[in-house]
Amino acid sequence: MYLSAAEAETWRAVVGARKAGYFGPEVFPLLEAYCATALACDHIAARLRAEEGIDHALLELYDRMTRSLSDLANALGLLPAGERTDD
């Protein structure tokens, strides 16, 4: 497993917010994907904020990435029960 410094920071924040042992090694690939996707969403959001006007392709990419992030958060049990997207 390789994480960038920013991804590792997200990993520590997510794991640190749960009880010890909440995440077993079987979900580490999902958690790694969550960390990478969260960072990608941050980068895309920064690009959108810096754009003059609306970049529709970038906006569509951001929409897809945030949906992926939400799906991963849901799969990892990170969303409060009232915010889950499994309906």
Tens of pLDDT, residue by residue over 64-83, are 999 999 999 999 999 887 55
- Provide the pLDDT for residue 60: 97
- Provide the pLDDT for residue 8: 96
| Residue 21: pLDDT band with limits 50, 70, 90 | very high
CA distance 77 to 71: 10
Q: Is 38 exposed, middle or buried (0-12, 13-18, 19+ CB in 10 A)?
A: buried
Summary mean pLDDT of the chain: 92
The domain ranges of the chain are 5-83
- Provide the pLDDT for residue 86: 54
Name residues whose C-beta falls within 8 Å of residue 77's C-beta, 6 or more positions apart in sequence. Answer: none
* pTM, full prediction: 0.87
Q: Which residue has the higher pLDDT, 48 or 51?
A: 48
